[in-house]
Amino acid sequence: MSKSEISSFSHFAFLPLYNFTMIAFSNAIEVLRMANYLEGKALYRWSVITPEGGMVCASNGLSVKSGRPDPADIPDVVFVCGGTEIETAIHSDALVLMQSFANQGVAMGSLCTGTFALAKAGLLDGYVCATHWENMSALRRTFPSVSFSRDLFVIDRDRLTCTGGIAPLDMMLNLISRQVGKTTIAAIADQFILEHVRDDKDQQRVPLTVRMNSARPAMVEVVSLMEANIEEPLSLEDLAQLSNSSPRQLQRMFKEHMGMSPTHYYLTLRLRKARELLRQTDMSILSITMACGFQSACHFSKTYREVFNVAPSSERRKQASVSISLPLLSQTAAAQCEPAGYVA
């Protein structure tokens, strides 16, 4: 699908899944609303659809009303809106609906973890796509035929995928820019108090150099090396050599900027990755042990329990219990927030 075809989109449909992220959903629609307002005419329209229609609960406990798809009013693009506990939020009727739209030549998109739903429907094989960084590692293992990018959003032919949070705002501004022009895009950004409109080459995770203005380049390099070497962890000596530092310098820099030793920080990264894999994949605990750089399941289990106060096997059973009971919950029940990740 060419850029000119995408820029001609006028009917945007949104397919929210249970526990979808409201901020991503709202940001996408608000760009269209503001464009209509500033242009003084209805350039764009949007609809909220689900297989059966009715109210859909977001992860913040609020609900939106959806209608059933109208065969006489086919949208130009359908964005699947995901959120928390995405695996349990996807039902067969939703997968069939996605596949039906794709078979009709409708462009398919996703917001936040909606990428998981498109991949599960088989609609991203051979495509490059974006998803929230927290889910990327698990998705790469689950869907090896899909190429996952760290970009804020990716437009690959007739697939438009986007990360969560406020990234859909940037994506939608880019999508409509050819039709409404730079002046209107700047006006929309001003209305939203947005200093800079990011494009599809911007990375979704804020670099360490931005988050920590005083961070030294050597430490930024070390953190990048750690993130790239989870399965086979590097020693402190290796990290120091590769970053042209000394082990003592690294110890001092991490204590100053992170409040912990580099070894502790590295272990935290590996355990967070293990937690993600336990919660979002069906990988065995032994496989996760190896994937996160632990030499034995016993050592991994002991360390995991010390940090998260729960054994890996109990973490897996807890998630399985949530998956079984979730469809029985009232749609008006507010979703529980995930506990914050471990910080030493």
Burial class (CB in 10 A: 0-12, 13-18, 19+), 44: buried
- Say yes or no: 313 and 172 in one domain: no
- Say yes or no: 229 and 122 in one domain: no
Taking 50 as the pLDDT cut, the residues of the chain under it are 206, 210, 213-214, 320-344
- Say yes or no: 165 and 307 in one domain: no
Residue recorded with tokens 């919660």: 279
Decide: 79 and 15 in contact? Cβ < 8 Å.
yes
Distance from C-alpha of 52 to C-alpha of 242, rounded to nearest angstrom: 56
3-state secondary structure of 303: helix
- Say yes or no: 131 and 187 in one domain: yes
- Say yes or no: 186 and 55 in one domain: yes
- Say yes or no: 9 and 131 in one domain: yes
Number of domains in the chain: 2
68 found inside a domain: yes
3-state secondary structure of 322: helix
* Residue range 98-124, pLDDT digits in tens: 999 999 999 999 999 999 999 999 999
- Say yes or no: 18 and 73 in one domain: yes
- Say yes or no: 120 and 227 in one domain: no
- Say yes or no: 75 and 122 in one domain: yes
C-alpha distance from residue 139 to each of 133, 135, 203, 218, 335 (Å): 10, 6, 18, 30, 23
Residue whose C-alpha is closest to residue 3's, from 196, 176, 131: 176
Tell me, what CATH number does 10's domain have?
Answer: 3.40.50.880
336 found inside a domain: no
219 found inside a domain: yes
Last residue of a domain, one of 166, 191, 216: 191
Strands (E), the chain: 11-16, 45-48, 54-57, 63-66, 77-81, 107-111, 128-130, 147-149, 153-156, 159-162
pLDDT of residue 204: 65
Domain that holds residue 225: 208-328
